[in-house]
Each structure stands twice: as C-alpha cells, then as structure tokens.
A and B are shown apart, each in its own frame.
Chain A
C-alpha cells in the first residue's frame, strides 16, 4: 500500500533563511506526488505536483521540490522564507491511474517562521 512519511512534525525557521521539508513515500510504481499548504482553519492549496519528466518541479510562492526515486523522496524547498509561509504543509501521493483515486496524505509539518 502507498504511504507517505513526513519525518518532521514541527520546523522553525528564521525569516529569510532557507527551508527544506522532508517527504518520503512508499509506492510500487511511479507515484504522483503533491505538496499542499494549509493555513489555520483553511482548506488546502496546491503548491506543486510531480507526475513525470523533470525531477525538479517549480511551484507557486517560490517553492520547489525534487523527486529522487533512489531515495523515495520528494522534499520541498524554498531559498528564502517569508513570515507568511508559516502554515501546515502536507505531502501527498496519488495512484498512477485515471480513476480518480484519492490522495494519501502525510501527517504534515508545521512551519513556524521567526523574525
């Protein structure tokens, strides 16, 4: 069965510093991978996704993620964090099909940005 692990429950970063959020997945085939962000009391916003092709994916708000098959990872990065980036970040994996399988989410990483 597919699964997603986000090893870090909480991360604190100073504003302007770089950020990397870790995500590891377990899936037999090539997965569809996603990163979503959730602000308090809000729904989820898609940051970026990987289906195939270039393993370095650019997303919105200056985020990028790199798919590394050998490490079963899809880590999210941002070179310079802004205070508005403080939120909950979820990595998710989807089945490689057209039937609309739902996403399997990691437990999330809570990002705190300090001045």
Chain B
C-alpha cells in the first residue's frame, strides 16, 4: 500500500492563529486525497476531498473559508485551519486513494491540533 506522512504530528497554537498541516504521499502519485477529522472517542468524519489541480470538495457543514485545502501536486495536500478556536482542537487525518479500481485508502498517522 501507499505510504502517507503528515506534518506536524502535534501542534499547539493560540486561539486566532492559523495552522498548516501537510499530507504527503511518499511513494505514490495521488490525484485524490481526503481530509478527515476525529474527535476523542469518535469515528472519522470526512471534511473534504482534495483533488490535484482543482478546488477541494467540502462536506456539508464544513466551512471552506476556515479549512483551506491546497492540493498543488500529486504528492502533497495541505490543510490550513484559519483563525483557529478551541473547538477546532481535534485529530486531523489525511488519506490517499489507491490506483485503479480498488478505492482502497491509505491513511497518514494523523495530526493532533490543540488550540488554547
């Protein structure tokens, strides 16, 4: 399967600041990446689908102006949480979709965001 990395693994920021999270596909060119959010003891909730070279598709209820996604290359997608607030504190996980017809997704290790 694909190897996916995320950076940083943990970040603590002050309320009102912006935080950028990187998702890299290390051995695979991913035209599609996904961003999920996971609250403690909860399941993963899809935030958006990131398509290389085009605008991301956001799920209902996810503010596109708050969660900026840039998929500028086949190996890198970034999620920027703008003007972060304590309620944005969560575990953010990205995934890449495998080639062909498999629809298998390979997940990054996640980024723990804490907003003070």
A interface list, Cβ under 8 A from B: 32, 34, 36, 41-46, 49, 51, 90, 94-95, 97-98, 100-108
Contacts between the two chains (Cβ within 8 Å), count: 63
Q: In the complex, how many angstroms separate the beta carbon of A46 from the nearest chain B beta carbon?
A: 6
A46 and B106 contacting across the interface, CB-CB below 8 Å: yes
* Residues of B contacting A: mostly: strand
Cα–Cα distance between A51 and B105 once the two chains are bound (Å): 13
Question: Residue of A at shortest CB range from B96?
Answer: A100
Cα–Cα distance between A105 and B6 once the two chains are bound (Å): 21
Cα–Cα distance between A95 and B104 once the two chains are bound (Å): 11
Q: Which residues of A lie under 8 Å from residue B107 when comparing CB positions?
A: 36, 43-45
Does B71 sit at the interface, judged by CB under 8 A?
A: no
Cα–Cα distance between A90 and B107 once the two chains are bound (Å): 13
A43 and B103 contacting across the interface, CB-CB below 8 Å: no
Those of B77-116 within 8 Å (CB) of chain A: 91, 93, 95, 97, 100-110, 112
Besides A42-B109, A43-B107, A103-B34, 12 other A-B contacts (C-beta < 8 A): A41-B91, A44-B93, A46-B1, A95-B103, A98-B103, A100-B49, A102-B95, A103-B44, A103-B105, A107-B43, A108-B42, A108-B43
